[in-house]
Structure 1
Amino acid sequence: MTKESAPVVPEPEAETRVQPQASNLLDMAKARIMHRAERQKRRLIREASAAAGAKVKRDEFDDDDELPGSKTEPGKKFSTKSIFEMPNFAKKKRKKVNWAAISFALAVIVPTILTGLYFAFIASPQFEVQSQFAVRGANQSSLNALGLGSLMGTSPQAGDSYIVADYIHSQQVLQDMKDQLGLDIREVYARDSIDFVYKSDVAAPFDEFVNYWQDMVNVSFNSTTGNVTLQVYAFTPEDAKRVTDAILLVAENLVNRLSEESRNQYLGVVNKQVERTENRLASVREQMSQLRQTEQAIDPTSLATMESSIIGSIEEQLASVRTRYRALMNTVSRDAPSAKVLERQIFALEAQLSEQKARLGSGSTKKTGRNPDAASDNVSDVIDRFAKLTVEQEFAVKAYSTSLAGLETALVEAQKQERFFATYVSPRLPEIAMYPQRVLNTMLGFMAFFAAWLIGFFAYKSIKDHAI
């Protein structure tokens, strides 16, 4: 008996694989779904043929068996949901670069290493010389001496100390040291032994060098005691002490010059006042002397008394002659010789009396006085001129006396305006270099670099997170 074989199901012709020419993602998805549907259909036909015992040729283009979940498990129905699912392709991992570490190394580590190398092997040692001084005057009060001057306000010495402190930081101190002492500070800080960071240019003008100079000199003022502390930095002990001595010397010259100018200015006003009152008194005395020489009288009062006595004497003689003349008229005629003599005496006495009264102020234009060339018209004018000049002389004498007393007072006050530059901590030659502090400066550099990097890093992260 011949064994029947299962009918052979003819294998459908291989359909041409769909080669979609998708123009966009939607077309590509549709083509993919159609292609998988065709492959699923062929797979089902093969499974039915295999169950009947027929050999089915596997489609060489069918790769669904290799896809995960493509085979239908026994007892489970085929789900079309997998047809519409997109395949999961393994993503290609990119190698990430740690830019934060790189930026930290470039912005913090490398600059810190360079800073440490500079301070360890290149930076020149700096020597410090410290000195303390004060500006004092004769009118320094006991409160200031006890340190309580600030309770009563700022004293003139405090203002002078501020002037000296500003002077040391100014360009003028550089010029004064060069002119008065022959010391060019630019040469001190331009030596070949100084490192390239702190080395100055010897040919640099003072206008540019003053900024460098202010870094090399520190002046602090104590407002309570009025004392000034001076710190000078240089790159050799000798240069540091030399520069400090020069600063103190020119500062002392400045204080002396300001003190002298203040004293001269204070006394100049008083001296001018004394000179003006002295000239006024001399002028009045000259006018008085000329008047006395012109009128030939030392005292106008005595002159008036003398003129009054003369007038009284003439009036007495005239009265006596008139009495005699009246008595004679009772015995003789008017034409008698004796009567004529008495008449002439009466006429002469009356003329003399009129002349004397005119000299006392009758308005006569005749010149009077002992000197016929006198400029005065009468005794009254002379007395008035004497009185006027006398009053002016009294005022001039009083003004001159007052100005002399003011001059004496001004001399005393001028002595109080005197300022003294007192150095109570003298500069000395330093033994060791206090600067630079290499470890501390390196750590400070690290902190500065780290702070700058941290700010930049957070700024970058903030901008990146808010970017659209």
Structure 2
Amino acid sequence: MAAPDSSLADLGAPRLTLLPQPAPPLRARARHYGLATLFLATVALPLGLAAWYLWWVAADQYASTVGFSVRKEEVASPIELFGGIADISSSGSSDSDILYEFIQSQEIVETLEAQIGLSTLWSQPDDDPVFAHEASGTVEDLRDFWRRMVRVTYDTSTELIEVRALAFTPEDARRITTAVFDESARLVEDLSAIARADTIAFAEVELARAVERLKAAREAVTEYRSRTQIVDPTADLQGQMGLLSTLETQLAEALIAADLLRDSTRDSDPRIQQADLRIRVIEARIAEERRKLGVGTGESGQDYATLLAEYERLAVDRQFAEEAYTVALAAYDQALAEARRKSRYLAAYIRPTTAEASEFPRKEVLLAALAFFLLSGWGVVVLLYYSIRDRR
């Protein structure tokens, strides 16, 4: 008898399926307790302490804001108005840069410490060692705390400066921003005064030098006139030339008269002798006057050529000194006008504000940032632990 087909037997038989064994229940091990303890110690506990300090210990801080810009007023001169050139107002970027650095400097900290007592204002909460200032600290500590409590924002494109100061009362915060504005205005006034002084300083030096040169030139001319007893050698020379011309005319007339006498009388006539004597006297006088004009001497013992050359040199020096004085005086007047028409001032677009509610410290932000860093640190420790454990 034939055996039954095994495939048919398999079709009719029930099929058995092997199910996987259930995993054993998870058991907390020592490493799990260690990680949980680490979480509580490094994350939960610090966050709890930070929340307790921020909400129950930290003193409220109030903000005051002031905003300003350095302006440079330039009133156009009549020449500029006539020519259509007028620059009424413009910002001084370099002054704004200086002011931005000044507000963050130790100088303003020392000034405000002397005026309003910054260390006293910021150390009033005795039970807040984290956010309050230590009154017995050094000026360097106060400067560092200043940069923490005072934020300076400077927009280089618009050249606007905004200062936000924090304090533990609204009034103290406003006092700080008001003092910052006043000291900034004083600095701008000092810069304006320095600019005006620099504008006219060089012109003053040149004017003083021109005055001294003109005085020396005029004194030289006065000394020359006193020594030679001649006010103007040119005019004196013209007088001498006129005298010489007159003498030559008289000589010509005397010669003609003598010739007429010789033609009409005898040689023994006394009138001829008188005419000859007159001619000799006139010729001698002409020779003397010519010597004065050339190589002879004048009243001071010097010839007119030397006197005239000396006077011309002194006259040129005096003329040059007068022209230099005129130019220096015009430059000085222009410098004064330039200094008067340019002035810097501090324009506030936000007056010092007074807070009605406390906005600082930002408790939620600080707590969230602390939680992020603590969780990140705890997570890094856990990853390192499991990485080392898997390598074993």
TM range (shorter): 0.7 to 0.9
Match 1:102 to one of 37, 56, 65: 37
Name the stretch that deviates more: 255-264 or 315-324. Answer: 315-324
SS at match of 1:418: strand
Taking structure 2 as the reference length, the TM-score comes to: 0.78
1:140/1:211 Cα in 2 relative to 1: closer, same or farther (>3 Å)? farther
Residue 328 (structure 2) pairs with residue 403 (structure 1): yes
Percent sequence identity is: 25
Match 1:302 to one of 225, 235, 247: 235
Deviations 1:295-324 (A, max 9, x none): 444443322211111122223334444556
What CA distance in whole angstroms lies between the structure 2 residues aligned with 1:246 and 1:137?
Answer: 22
What CA distance in whole angstroms lies between the structure 2 residues aligned with 1:260 and 1:351?
Answer: 75
> 2:374 — aligned with what?
449
1:424/1:329 Cα in 2 relative to 1: closer, same or farther (>3 Å)? same
SS at match of 1:275: helix
1:432/1:156 Cα in 2 relative to 1: closer, same or farther (>3 Å)? closer
> 2:288 — aligned with what?
355
Paired amino acid for 1:442 = L
Paired amino acid for 1:173 = I
What CA distance in whole angstroms lies between the structure 2 residues aligned with 1:393 and 1:156?
Answer: 46
> 1:117 — aligned with what?
52
SS at match of 2:92: helix
What CA distance in whole angstroms lies between the structure 1 residues aligned with 2:75 and 2:259?
Answer: 94
SS at match of 1:449: helix
Structure 1: unaligned runs, 5 residues or longer: 1-93, 142-154
1:140/1:175 Cα in 2 relative to 1: closer, same or farther (>3 Å)? farther
1:138-287 map, 5 Å = 138-139=73-74, 157-179=92-114, 182-193=115-126, 195-287=128-220
Please report the RMSD computed on the Cα atoms of aligned residues, expressed in angstroms.
Answer: 3.1
1:140/1:354 Cα in 2 relative to 1: closer, same or farther (>3 Å)? closer
> 2:313 — aligned with what?
388
Match 1:378 to one of 303, 320, 330: 303
Deviations 1:319-362 (A, max 9, x none): 444556677788437xx976665555444434322321222132
Offset of residue 289 of structure 1: 3.3
* Higher RCO (CA-CA < 8 Å; seq separation 6+): 2
> 1:63 — aligned with what?
none
1:70-89 map, 5 Å = none
Offset of residue 441 of structure 1: 1.3
Offset of residue 452 of structure 1: 2.7
Offset of residue 246 of structure 1: 1.3
Find the structure with the greater CA-based Rg: 1
What CA distance in whole angstroms lies between the structure 2 residues aligned with 1:237 and 1:140?
Answer: 40
Match 1:311 to one of 229, 239, 244: 244
What CA distance in whole angstroms lies between the structure 1 residues aligned with 2:294 and 2:376?
Answer: 107
Structure number having the greater helix percentage:
2
Taking structure 1 as the reference length, the TM-score comes to: 0.67
**Aligned residue pairs: how many?**
350
Contact 1:259 1:418 in 2 (8 A): yes
Deviations 1:5-29 (A, max 9, x none): xxxxxxxxxxxxxxxxxxxxxxxxx
Offset of residue 433 of structure 1: 0.6
1:293/1:140 Cα in 2 relative to 1: closer, same or farther (>3 Å)? closer
Paired amino acid for 1:189 = W
Offset of residue 427 of structure 1: 1.3
What CA distance in whole angstroms lies between the structure 1 residues aligned with 2:375 and 2:39?
Answer: 8
> 1:34 — aligned with what?
none
